[in-house]
Structure 1
C-alpha cells in the first residue's frame, strides 16, 4: 500500500518532535540537523523510538536544513550531505520496523523565524534555498511524501507548494501554524487556507506547532464543511515554560494526547502526530487513544462562526491634510526627565496657542530615561487637545511590547507614529542596558499598518479598524546632489506615509533631497528638521559628537563670533530662519526641534513658518 492509498483507507499516527526531544532528552542544543552527520546513531535512535511507539509516519531530521538557516552555524555548504544523510537514517528506521512505516521529507517555513537574515531574504533567495534542500531530499533515498510544516505565511506556503509540485510527483503535506485557533497571522481563516492549499494541489492540509490539542481541536471543529483533502494535525504538547536556567521546557503529559486522539479522529483527521515538546510517549498515548483506525467523514462544526463587524475610526491627521497646501510646522519635545512636569505642559500649551500643527514626542532620545512618551501624548491630547506624534523605537520594545504599545495608542485616539530604531542603549544613562531590536524600523511600520485592517498580531479580528499614519525618519546630511532614495523607497514600500528628517544646517542637502525625490517620482509629505543653535559650544557639540549632524564651518564661525559679541541666541534664531527660508522653497513641512526647553525660541520660529503662508496669500 502506498502513501496515497493509506491516506484514503485509515487514520495514520505520525511521530512527534525531533529538536525539542534532542534538546531535552539528549542535551544537544547545536544545529540539530548536523547530527545526521556527527551523531547518526542518536538520530536513528529517535526514529526507532517513535516507530516502536507505534508511529506509522516518521519525518526526516531536516526542518531547518536549508542554506539560509544553516548559515547561522557556517554550515551552508553542507545542505546536500545533511539532507541526504537524514533520508538514509529515516529509511533505515523504516526498514527495521515491524509494521509499515512511511517517511516524509521535511522542509520548514521561514516567515515565522526570528533570525533577521532569514526574515530579510528575498523571494528569489527563499526559492533557491527551498529548491536546493528539496533536491537534496529527493536524491537522498526513498521518500513517500514531502512535508511542508510550520508555515505562518500562507503566501510563502503556496509558493513553496508550487515549487515542490514542479519538482516531484510525490504527495505533499502542507501544515500551517496559527497563533490563535481558526485564523492565520494575516487574518486568513483556517478554512480559507485549506481551500486555497487544496486548490493549489496539496494532497494533505493541516496545522502544526504553536498550539496544543485543545486549541487545534477548536480550529478543526470550526470548519463548516468537509474539506476536499485529508487533514493532518501535529499539536504541541502544551504551552512551554522555563526551567531555573531559563531554558524552554515542555511538561505536557502524554495521557492528555490519549484523551484527544479519538476526538481528532471524530473531527475527521487522517494524520495525527505531535510537534514541540512531544516524545515517543505521546505517540504511544495517541495510539492507545484511538478507538479505531477507520476514517470519519467530517469534520462537522457545531456552529457557524460569524464575522465580527469592524468599526472604523475617524482620525483627522490634520497636519498631514494641511501640509499638502500650506507651510506646516511640527515641534519636537523631549518628555520630562523628572516629575516636575508643569513647565513642560505649560510650554506645550504656549505652542498650541502659537498655532503649532502637532507636537512630536521623542522616545528616550539619546537613550536617556524620560517619562514614557505615550503617557505624555495622552495628556497632551486629552487634556489640552494637542495633536501628538509619538516616536516608537524598536530599541526599547520587543515584539510583544511594540504591539501592546500600538494597541494602547489607538485606544487613546493617538494615530500618528514615527517609527524609529532609536539611539543605541549604551549611549545613555545605563550603558549596561541592551537594545532589543526584534524588528527593524521598516518592519515596525508594516506591523503598525496591519492594525489599520482591523487584524491583530495573531490574525484575530480587533473588532475595530485603526487609522494610523506612520512617519519614517531620514537623514539627508550624509548626501549632496547624488542623494540616494533607496532607503526612502524601502520605507514607503513598508507603509511609510511621510518623512521627518534629521536637523539640517546645509541647504545643499535640502535641495539635493528635493531633486532626488523628484527624479525618482516620489511624492510624499516631508518635514525637514530645524534645530536652533543656542551657543557656539552647542554648535561644536552637535557637529563633533552627535551622530548624523554636520554643521558647516561658516555657521560655526558665525556662532563663535556671536559668542564674542554676546548675541548667540539672536544669531542662532537668524540661522534657523535662513534655513526655514530654504526649506520652504522646496517643501511645505518644517520640523522644529526644541533646544533645552527653549519654548520662546521655538514659538518665534513657528510664527515665522506661519508668516510664509500670509506672504504667499498677499
Structure 2
C-alpha cells in the first residue's frame, strides 16, 4: 500500500528526533555528514524508531543542502550525503515503514541572508537526489518562512507525484512569525497540492494542541503534528529535554482528536516517546469531522492617531528639512550635550539624531538622552539602532520601549564591528542585518511582534536607512537603497560628502528614487581632523582640494574652524537645489558649528523661495 493510501485509511506514527539522539551520544558535528562517517550510529537510530512503532521514518537529511552544508565545507557532497542517508533509512525500514526524504527550511528570522533563488537552486539539487533513490514521499519540516515553504512545495509538485508532507513551525501558538494565522497558512499550502499539511518543532505538545484546536480539517489534505518533547533545559553545558513519555502518550490522543493523521516527534523526542504515541493512537481510524470552538475574538487593533509631529520623511517630501546629529557623550558629563540640544532646537532643526555607540565605542545610552531632550526641550529625536549590540529579544524590547516613550523616529543600521572599537574582544551579535531590522520594525507597525504574536497596538515608527555614497561603485550603493525600500525604509540618511561634484553625481544616480534622501554634511574642524576622516574612518572620502584648503590653516584653530564652515556652506549650496533634506553632523559636540550651518540653510532656503516667487511674478 502506498503512503498516500495508508494516510486515508488510518492514523500513522512518525519517528522522532535524529539529532537529539546523536547529540546524547556525545556527537556534536554536522549530523548529516554522519551518514558517511558514522553510518552505523545513524542506522541504529532509524532501527530504534522502527522498533518503537514508527510507520514513517525520515531520512537524516534535514540540513543536507548546499547552503547548510557549506557551513562545514561540505557543499560539494550534497549527492553523496543524501544518497547515503536514503540507503540507511531504507535498510532500517525493511519494508515495515515508509521512508520520506526530509528537506529542512533554510531561512530563519534573517530572510535576506538566503535569497529565494538560492533556496530554489539548493532545493532542486537535494530533491533530485531523493527522487533518484525512490523515497516514498517528501517531508518539508521546520519552515518558519511561509514564502520559502510555498516556493519549494510548488516546485516539488511539478517534479513528482509522490506524497508531499509540508509542515510549518511557529514561535507562538496559532500564528507564523510574519503574523499569518496558522489556519490560513495551511490552507495556502493545501491549495498548492500538498497531501499532508501540519506543524512541527519549536512548540511542545501543550501549545501545539492549542494551535490545532483552531484549525479545521483540510478539504483534501490531512493533518500532521510533530511536537517537541518540551522546552529544553540547560544542564552542565548541554541542552536536555526532560519530558516524560507518558505525557506524550496522553498528548498524542489529543492531537489525534484534533484531526492529526500523522503524529511524530521533533526535538527532544526519543524512541520511548514514539512508542508511547504508537501505543495510544497507532492504526486508529482517522477523525473525519471536527468542531472548532467558538471563542471570543480579540478586539481589533485600533490605530489612534495621537497628536504627533510629522515624520521626517513626510517633512522632506513637503519641503526643506534639517536634521542634526549630536552624539551622546563618552563621559558622564552631559552639560554641553544638553546645551547643544537646546541651541539646535532654538535654531529650528526638525530633529536631533543620536548615534548608537558609533565606531563600536560606548557612549551614554542614546535612548536615555533622546528621552531627556524629548521631555526637556520638546525635540523630536531620531534614535539610531544598531544590530551589533542586541539580539532579537533585546531589539524588540528596545523598540517597544521607544514606542512607549513616544519616540517614533529610528535609523536602522547594521553597526560597526566591535573589533574597531574600544573593546575589540567584545561580541558582535548581528542576529539581524539592517535589512531584516527594517522589515521587522515595519512588522511592529502592523501590530505584530517579531515572532508573529499580536502586540495589542500598532507602533508608528518612521524608519530611516543609511546610505554611503563614498564607494567606488555608486550604482551598487543605489541598488542597496532600492533593496532597503523593498524591506520598508521610508527615507535615507547619507554619510557626509565633501565634493560638490559628488553631490551632483549622487543626485543623478538617485533621482528616480521617490524616498527622500538627507544628504550628509559634516564641517571639518582642522587639518588633522580632515586627514583622520579621509585616511582612517570607513565610508568617508575627502578630495585633495579640501584637504589642501584645511592644511593652509593647520596652525590656526580659529581660521581652521572658519574654513571648515566655509567648505560646509559651499557643499550646502550645491545640495539645496537637489535635496530637500540636509543632515548636519556635529563634530566633537561643537554644536555652534551646526547651529551656524542650520541658520545658513534657513537663510538660503528663504532666499530661494523669495526668488521663485519673484520669478513667478515676473513671468506673469
For the pair 1:148 / 2:144, whether they are aligned, the reply is no
Partner of 2:194: 202
Which SS does the other structure have where 2:547 is aligned? helix
Contact preservation (8 Å) 2:107, 2:114: no
| 8 Å CA contact retained: 2:11, 2:281 | no
Who is 1:466 aligned against?
A: 459
Which residue matches 1:105? 101
Deviation of 1:578 after TM superposition, in Å, equals 1.4
| Paired position in structure 1 for 2:618 | none
Q: Residues 16-54 of structure 1, C-alpha deviation per residue, up to 9 Å, x if partnerless?
A: 001121112x22222211222222211110011011111
The question of 1:20 aligning with 2:20 is answered yes
Deviation at residue 373 of structure 1 after TM alignment: 1.0
| Displacement of 1:119 | 5.1
Give the whole-Å Cα distance in 2 for the aligned partners of 1:421 and 1:484. Answer: 15
Matches within 5 A, 1:269-280: 269-280=260-271
Matched residue, 1:72: 71
Structure 2 residue aligned with 1:256: 247
Conserved 8 A contact 1:374-1:409: yes
TM alignment of 1:409-488, pairs within 5 A: 409-479=402-472, 485-488=478-481
Of 180-189 and 521-530, more deviation after overlay is shown by: 521-530
Matched, 1:539 2:533: no
* Local SS of the residue matching 2:317: coil
Q: Which residue of 1 aligns with 2:30?
A: 31
RMSD: 2.1
Instruction: Pick closer, same or farther for the CA change 1:588–1:135 going to 2, 3 Å.
Output: same
Q: Tell me what 1:362 maps to.
A: 355
Deviation at 1:231, TM superposition (A): 0.9
Q: C-alpha displacement at 1:364, in angstroms? A: 0.6
- Say if 2:85 is the partner of 1:93: no
Distance in 2 (CA, whole Å) between partners of 1:489 and 1:292 is 55
Gaps of 5+ in 2: 611-620
CA distance in 2, matches of 1:303, 1:227: 20
Q: How does 1:504-583 map to 2 (within 5 A)?
A: 504-518=497-511, 521-565=512-556, 566-583=558-575
In structure 2, relative to structure 1, the CA distance for the partners of 1:481 and 1:405 (3 Å cut) is: closer
SS across alignment from 1:567: helix
- The worse-fitting range, judged by mean Cα deviation, of 175-184 and 279-288 is 279-288
**Aligned partners of 2:575 and 2:313: how far apart in 1?**
17
Distance 1:191 1:319 in 2: 39
1:9 correspondence with 2:9: yes
The superposition leaves residues 222-255 of structure 1 with CA deviations (integer Å, 9 ceiling, x where unpaired) of 225665422110000111232323x433222222
SS in 2 for 1:32: coil
Shift of 1:411: 1.9
Aligned to 1:236: 228
Residue 379 (1) aligns with residue 354 (2) = no
Counterparts of residues 330-349 of structure 1 (less than 5 Å): 330-349=323-342
Paired residue total: 607
Equivalents in 1 of 2:420, 2:227: separation in Å? Answer: 44
Question: What secondary structure sits across from 1:231 in the alignment?
Answer: strand
Hey, what's the Cα distance between the residues in 2 that align with 1:293 and 1:546? 69
Deviation at 1:313, TM superposition (A): 5.1
Q: 1:288 aligns with which of 269, 279, 288?
A: 279
Q: Report the 3-state secondary structure (helix = DSSP H, G, I; strand = E; otherwise coil) of the residue aligned with 1:338.
A: coil
Alignment of 1:207-218 (within 5 A): 207-218=199-210
Would the alpha carbon gap of residues 597 and 134 (structure 1) be closer, same or farther in structure 2, given more than 3 Å must change?
same
What is the aligned partner in structure 1 of residue 617 from structure 2? none
C-alpha contact (below 8 Å) 1:222/1:305 kept by paired residues: no
TM-score (norm 1): 0.94
Q: Distance in 1 between matches of 2:136 and 2:231?
A: 31
Query: Contact 1:148/1:174 (CA < 8 Å) preserved in 2?
Result: yes
Q: Is the 1:223–1:300 Cα contact (8 Å) retained in structure 2?
A: no
Cα distance between partner residues in 2 of 1:145 and 1:576: 67
Residue 555 of structure 1 and its aligned partner are, at CA, apart by 2.1
Q: Secondary structure at the match of 2:338?
A: helix
CA spacing shift, 1:444–1:318, aligned 2, 3 Å = closer
Q: Do 1:144 and 1:171's aligned partners in 2 also have CA atoms closer than 8 Å? A: yes
- Tell me how far 1:291 sits from its aligned partner: 8.8
How far apart in 2 are the matches of 1:124 and 1:454? 30
Deviation at 1:330, TM superposition (A): 0.6
1:280-320: CA deviation from partner (whole Å, max 9, x where unpaired) = 11111222334972323344333335254112253543433
- Contact 2:327-2:355 within 8 A present in 1 as well: yes
What is residue 613 of structure 2 aligned with on the other side? Answer: none
Partner deviation per Cα, 1:256-285 (whole Å, 9 max, x = no partner)? 202212111222211111001111111112
> Is the contact made by 2:576 and 2:605 (CA closer than 8 Å) also made in structure 1?
no
Structure 1: stretches of 5+ with no match in the other structure: none
Q: Distance in 2 between matches of 1:340 and 1:170?
A: 69
| Aligned mates of 2:12, 2:31 — CA distance in 1 | 26
TM-superposed deviation, 1:102? 1.5
Deviations 1:360-406 (A, max 9, x none): 10001121111211222222223321111111111111222222222
Determine if contact 1:476/1:510 at 8 Å carries over to the other structure.
no
SS in 2 for 1:485: helix
Structure 2 vs 1, CA of residues 325 and 268 (structure 1 numbering), >3 Å: closer, same or farther?
Answer: closer
Distance 1:480 1:427 in 2: 24
Q: Which position in structure 2 is the counterpart of 1:137?
A: 130
Counterpart among 596, 610, 613 of residue 605 in structure 2: 613
